[in-house]
Structure 1
Amino acid sequence: MTDPTGDVAHLIQTALTPVFLLSGIGILLGLFNTRLARVSDDMAHAATLLTGDVSPADDTNLRRHLVRLEHRRWLLDASIVVGGIGGASTCAAAFVLFLGSVGKSAVTGWLIGLFAVALGCTVISLVVFLGDSVLAWRGLRQEGLLPRSINNMAK
C-alpha cells in the first residue's frame, strides 16, 4: 500500500526545483533589464550630444560610443529573449510535472526536454550577457566614459 501523504510530499519536493530555477532566472532578467535601461539612457544621451556643436574628433568618438552601445543593446535584447524562453520552459516543466503526477501518464520525455531547454536557455542568456559585459569593459578601456556634456568633451 502506498502512502498518499508521502506521495504528495515527494511531489511538492520535486516541484520546488523549477521554482528555485525560475526565481534565479527572474533575478537574471531583472538584471538584464536594468542594464538595458542604462544602455538606452546612454544612447539617448550620446545622440543628444551629437546634436550640439562638437568637434570632428568628438563627433567620431561619440559615434563609436553609439555603435558600441547599439551592439550592447542587441546582446542584452538577446539575453532577455533567451532568458525568457528559459523561464517559460521552466514553468512548462513544472506544469508537465504536475500533469504527470496527477494523470499518471508518461511525461518523462517532456519533463527532461523542458528542463533541458530551460537550463540551455539560461546558460545561453548568461553567455550572451557576458558578451555585453566584454563590450562594456572594452569600451571603457578604449573610449573612456561617455561625456556628460558638450563642455566636458574638449577637456
Structure 2
Amino acid sequence: MVSVASIVSSDAIDNTAHIVQVALTPIFLLTGAATLLGVFNTRLAYVSDHAEHTEELLRAAEDDEDRSRLVAHQARLRHRLQALDAAMALTALGGAATCGTVCILFLGGVQNKGVASWLVISFGFALLCVVGGLAAFLVDTLLAWHGIRQDGPMPRPK
C-alpha cells in the first residue's frame, strides 16, 4: 500500500505550508478593509439621511440667514458624501488587490515561477488603496469637524 507521505515529498509539504503562512498576511489587510467598509457605509448612511433632513429644513426655511446657513451645510454634506464615496471605492479596490495578491502568491507557489515583482506591485497597490481610503475618510471627518466649529451643531435627522 502506498502512503500519502511517500507520494508527496517533505519539500512540497514545506513549500505549501510556507505559502499558506505567507498568504495569511494579506488576509489580515483584507479583514481590516472589510471592517473599514462597514464603518464607511454606516457613516455614508448617516450623512445621506442628514442631507435629506437638511433639504426638508431648507424647503421650510423662511429666514434668509437660516436659508444661507442650510445651503452652506448642504454643500458641506455633498463634499462629505464625495469623500465617503472615494473612501469606500479606494478601500474596496484595496481589498480586491489584496485578493489578487493572494491569488498571485498561490499561482506562483504552484507553478514555481518568479512572481515576486507581481506580489510587490499587487500588495503595494492594495496598501496604497487602503491608505487612500483612510485619507478620504479623514477628509470627511475634517469636513464634519469644520462644520461643527463654524456653524455649531445642525439639526439632526428625526
**TM norm structure 1:** 0.90
In structure 2, how many angstroms separate the alpha carbons of the residues matched to 1:19 and 1:54?
54
Report the equivalent of 1:60: 68
Counterpart code for 2:85: D
1:31 corresponds, among 16, 39, 42, to: 39
State which structure, 1 or 2, has the greater radius of gyration over its C-alpha atoms. Answer: 2
In the alignment, does 2:105 pair up with 1:94? no
Q: Is the 8 A contact 1:42 1:146 kept in 2?
A: no
Corresponding position: 1:70 with 2:87? no
Compared CA separation, residues 130 and 60, structure 1 to 2 (3 A): same
User: Do the aligned partners of residues 18 and 148 (structure 1) sit closer, same or farther apart at CA in structure 2, a change above 3 Å counting?
Assistant: closer
- Aligned position for 2:4: none
**Amino-acid identity (%):** 46
Per-residue CA deviations over 1:40-61 (Å, capped at 9, x if unaligned) read 0000000011121431111111
List alignment gaps of at least 5 residues for structure 2. Answer: 1-8
Superposition map of 1:15-54 within 5 A? 15-54=23-62
Q: Give 1:135-150 correspondences, 5 Å limit.
A: 135-148=143-156
SS state at 2:107 partner: helix
Aligned residues: 149
Are the equivalent residues in 2 in contact too, given 1:90–1:118 (CA < 8 A)? Answer: yes
Supply the distance in 2 between the matched residues of 1:148 and 1:31 (Cα, whole angstroms). 20
**Counterpart residue type for residue 90 of structure 2:** V
Q: TM-score, normalised by structure 2?
A: 0.89
Q: Give the RMSD, CA atoms, in angstroms.
A: 1.5
Deviation at 1:127, TM superposition (A): 1.2
Gaps of 5+ in 1: 150-155
Shift of 1:147: 1.7
Letter matched to residue 42 of structure 1 = H
Q: Write out per-residue CA displacement over residues 53-95 of structure 1, whole angstroms, 9 at most, x where no aligned residue.
A: 4311111111111000001011111111111111110000000
Partners of 1:148 and 1:133 in 2: CA distance = 17
Tell me: CA distance 1:53–1:132, structure 2 relative to 1, closer, same or farther (3 Å): closer
